[in-house]
Amino acid sequence: MITNPTRSVLIVEDERIIAADLQQSLIGMGYDAFAIACSGDEAIKRATERCPDIILLDIRIKGPRDGIETAVLLRERFDVPLIYLTAHADDTTIARAKATEPYGYLLKPVKPAELRSVIEVAMHRHDVERRLRQRERWFATTLRSMADAVITVDLAGNITFMNSAAERLTETAAAQALGRPARDLLSLFDPGGSSPVESPLDRALRDNRTASLDTTMITRSNVRRLIHDSTSPVGDDRGRLGAVMVFRDLTDQQHMQRQLEIADRLASLGTMAAGVAHEINNPLAVVIANSDYIRSELDEISTALDAAAPELAERVRDLAQIQSEISRAGTRIGKIVGDLRTFSRPGEQTSGQADLASAIHWAIRTTSHEFRHRARLVHDLPALPPVVGDETRLGQVFVNLLQNAAQAIPPGKVNENQVTIQARVERPHIIIEVRDTGPGILPGNLQRIFEPFFTTKEVGEGTGLGLSVCHGIVTSMGGDIEVESAIGKGALFRVTLRIASWATVPPTRPLTTPIAVRPGRILVVDHDEMVHRTMSRLLRDHDLVCTGSGHGALALLAGERFDLILCDLMMPVMTGVELYEHLRAQDPELARRVVFMTGSALVPGKVEDFLRSVPNLRLEKPFGMPELQSVIVQVLGNAG
């Protein structure tokens, strides 16, 4: 019977008769006994020339090295099972032979039946072990390449394995970690990062059960990472072997989840803001427009009274000054309402040039009272070039940062506390830093500081919108805002803004010098009667007609001709967009003379797309006389 003709055998035996007899027996059994070596060196040479499937090796062979020493060299170079041939079975020889981990022993003289069975058992064992090693390599490669971190420990809690992901997360090489207690490597705290927690591996070894846990891990470089782990004891049929911990870094996932939550809040806030802005801007437009009208009337009265009643003229000029303050306050309210757009369109950028130094100095003056009993306010502001952005909105950012810095410091120890605002130019940016000596910000709060509605103040003392508005304003200008803080060491807010270049497009400015506007026939379409009355005052030199609806406008336009149509966008029943579409279909020339009035900078997305798609001018409420004159001149031309 041929056992396995593909298996080759190398015989290492210095007694030629015994070697030849073995060779003939093996050939008779179907093995390929291709060579006989009489020494250790010859055995290595033959195996190098042709690697056998199995080696029969006499323990005692002539030459500089015996069979056992030869076996050591063969095992180092070749993955081949070894079977010892020996006529001696003393304890010392057997002990030396066992150290080389042979696959069997054959006592001389060798019986054919025993020869075959020992070879087949050795080959089977070797095949099983090879497959096991291959599987172990697959498992090891899989573990090393996993995105999840894996650490295993023995029953004493000492590390026996860690993959590449675990090395990255713990910032420790596996070679340095092996044999060390896992608790020394894993610095774990509760999710808030304040209280240390027991090593999950120690818990698994103690309780002998699987568990999952969310913790904060602090790395060797003091970076905080939120991790989720699953830890389980490991054992076999004979008992426990240790434990394994599989864990992953959830920091980025948590950040993305928070961004999604913020986006959801912003979507809701944006919808609410659009309605609020519309309701505020409509009456605010009346306030500012009427204020401008009052100013023009007061200027005329003052001029007329200068000669006849100078004291009365001076009082009128005081009223004019009050009017200017009302107008500026109204404009500021409009700017603040406009900032609600940062919640609904956070990606929209603001272009134009802003005087950064002026914005900061205004913020310092505005907040100076906040520091009176809390801290000294120190500022270091060199000559600063203009930046990309809007001066009023930047002023709002620094007012908020300075107020927060002041309010972080309890009153009563002015000389011991300080708030510093300083700026430096690092082209192409300017960096402004606001630093306080307050108590600092908790690590758990630091990551949420710019989230809408997040506040650490008492109920009624803050909305949680201030810093999120700041973040929205700065990023809308292509800048960045970040915070650094440590408990007991205060907080530092860093704002980075782009320096404006000559290529920066300046914002459109309204006419600042009154000019004579050519009179025309103007139709005002707005559902707010206060707007009608205000327009009647401002446009008294024109032939003005007002209507409160789109349908009313269509009825008027069916029988009359107008030079200009001032049309509100957000009207009930028929919107300004629908009215315009009707006009464009019926009278394209007249449609080009429509100027849209918006009561909100937060028009819905489709309406915003529409406004970008048409060439018509747009007048945002609240507006004053200069802005109104500007659009009238562009449509009707001036009197000159």
User: Which candidate, 493, 475, 469, 500, places its Cα nearest to that of 356?
Assistant: 500
Looking at the structure, tell me whether residues 172 and 284 fall in a common domain. Answer: no
Cα four-point dihedral sign 300, 303, 306, 308: negative
CA separation for the pair 258, 445 (Å, rounded):
13
CA separation for the pair 430, 367 (Å, rounded):
22
Contact 367, 457 (CB under 8 A): no
For tokens 């907080």, the residue is 491
The CATH number of the domain holding residue 389 is 3.30.565.10
Rounded average pLDDT over 10-33: 90
Residue 497's φ and ψ, nearest 5 degrees, are -125, 155
Q: What does R_g of the chain's alpha carbons equal in angstroms?
A: 44
DSSP helix/strand/coil, 25 = helix
At 239-298, the pLDDT tens digits run 778 899 898 888 878 777 766 666 666 666 666 666 666 677 778 777 777 777 787 777
Higher pLDDT, 556 or 621: 556
Is 134 inside any structural domain?
yes
Per cent of the chain over pLDDT 90 is 18
Residue 325 belongs to what domain range? Answer: 254-344
Higher pLDDT, 262 or 474: 474
Task: Indicate the Cα dihedral angle 256, 258, 261, 265, nearest 10°.
Answer: -120
At 50-78, the pLDDT tens digits run 999 999 998 888 888 888 888 889 988 99
For tokens 């018509």, the residue is 616
> Cis peptide leading into 410, omega within 30 of 0?
no
User: Which candidate, 222, 250, 249, places its Cα nearest to that of 166?
Assistant: 249
Looking at the structure, tell me whether residues 262 and 221 fall in a common domain. Answer: no
Is 512 inside any structural domain?
no
Lowest mean per-residue pLDDT among 127-141, 501-515, 532-546, 611-625: 501-515
Looking at the structure, tell me whether residues 167 and 136 fall in a common domain. Answer: no
pLDDT at 599: 66
pTM summary value: 0.44
Looking at the structure, tell me whether residues 173 and 67 fall in a common domain. Answer: no
Going by pLDDT thresholds of 50, 70 and 90, the confidence category of residue 507 is: very low
Contact 357, 381 (CB under 8 A): yes
Total number of domains in the chain? 5
Task: Indicate the Cα dihedral angle 77, 78, 83, 87, nearest 10°.
Answer: -30
Single residue among 344, 377, 404 that ends a domain in this structure: 344
Residue 276's φ and ψ, nearest 5 degrees, are -65, -45
Higher pLDDT, 401 or 510: 401
CA 405 to chain CA centroid, nearest Å: 26
* Token pair belonging to 340: 């609600």
Contact 229, 246 (CB under 8 A): yes
Looking at the structure, tell me whether residues 263 and 284 fall in a common domain. Answer: yes
Lowest mean per-residue pLDDT among 84-88, 353-357, 429-433: 84-88
pLDDT at 144: 77
CA separation for the pair 518, 516 (Å, rounded):
7
* Token pair belonging to 178: 């092996």
Looking at the structure, tell me whether residues 403 and 279 fall in a common domain. Answer: no
- Beta-strand (E) ranges in 237-317? 239-249
Single residue among 118, 142, 166 that ends a domain in this structure: 142
Task: Please check the confidence at residue 495 and state whether its pLDDT lies above 90.
Answer: yes
Higher pLDDT, 486 or 179: 179
Rounded average pLDDT over 206-231: 85
Is 511 inside any structural domain?
no
Looking at the structure, tell me whether residues 357 and 493 fall in a common domain. Answer: yes
Is 538 inside any structural domain?
yes
Rounded average pLDDT over 495-515: 57
Task: Please check the confidence at residue 3 and state whether its pLDDT lies above 50.
Answer: no
CB-side exposure of 335: number of CA atoms within 13 Å? 15
Contact 455, 469 (CB under 8 A): no
b/e string for 34-60 if b means 16 or more Cβ within 10 A? bbbbbbbebbbebbeeeebbbbbbbbe
* Token pair belonging to 555: 């009825």
CA separation for the pair 351, 506 (Å, rounded):
7
pLDDT at 8: 92
Looking at the structure, tell me whether residues 131 and 156 fall in a common domain. Answer: no
Is 503 inside any structural domain?
no
Looking at the structure, tell me whether residues 363 and 483 fall in a common domain. Answer: yes
Going by pLDDT thresholds of 50, 70 and 90, the confidence category of residue 351 is: low
At 355-411, the pLDDT tens digits run 899 889 888 888 888 887 888 888 888 888 899 888 878 888 898 899 888 888 888
pLDDT at 4: 53
Is 606 inside any structural domain?
yes
Rounded average pLDDT over 292-314: 78
CA separation for the pair 361, 518 (Å, rounded):
42
Looking at the structure, tell me whether residues 131 and 169 fall in a common domain. Answer: no
Single residue among 95, 112, 142 that ends a domain in this structure: 142
E strand or H helix at 8? strand 8-12
CA 69 to chain CA centroid, nearest Å: 62
pLDDT at 267: 62
Rounded average pLDDT over 502-509: 40
CA separation for the pair 91, 336 (Å, rounded):
96
For tokens 């940016």, the residue is 429
Is 562 inside any structural domain?
yes
The CATH number of the domain holding residue 213 is 3.30.450.20
Contact 343, 452 (CB under 8 A): yes
E strand or H helix at 377? strand 376-380
Task: Please check the confidence at residue 112 and state whether its pLDDT lies above 70.
Answer: yes
Task: Please check the confidence at residue 189 and state whether its pLDDT lies above 90.
Answer: no
Looking at the structure, tell me whether residues 176 and 112 fall in a common domain. Answer: no
In angstroms, the Cα distances linking 35 to 38, 44, 117, 233 are 10, 12, 21, 51
Per cent of the chain over pLDDT 70 is 86
Is 507 inside any structural domain?
no
pLDDT averaged over the chain?
Answer: 81
Task: Indicate the Cα dihedral angle 268, 269, 271, 273, nearest 10°.
Answer: 170
CA separation for the pair 154, 158 (Å, rounded):
6
Task: Please check the confidence at residue 116 and state whether its pLDDT lies above 80.
Answer: yes
Looking at the structure, tell me whether residues 569 and 596 fall in a common domain. Answer: yes
Those residues with Cβ within 8 angstroms of residue 74's Cβ, 6 or more apart along the chain or in another chain: 43, 44, 47, 55, 57, 80, 82
pLDDT at 40: 87
At 260-272, the pLDDT tens digits run 666 666 666 666 6
Amino acid at 515: I
Rounded average pLDDT over 9-29: 90
pLDDT at 502: 39
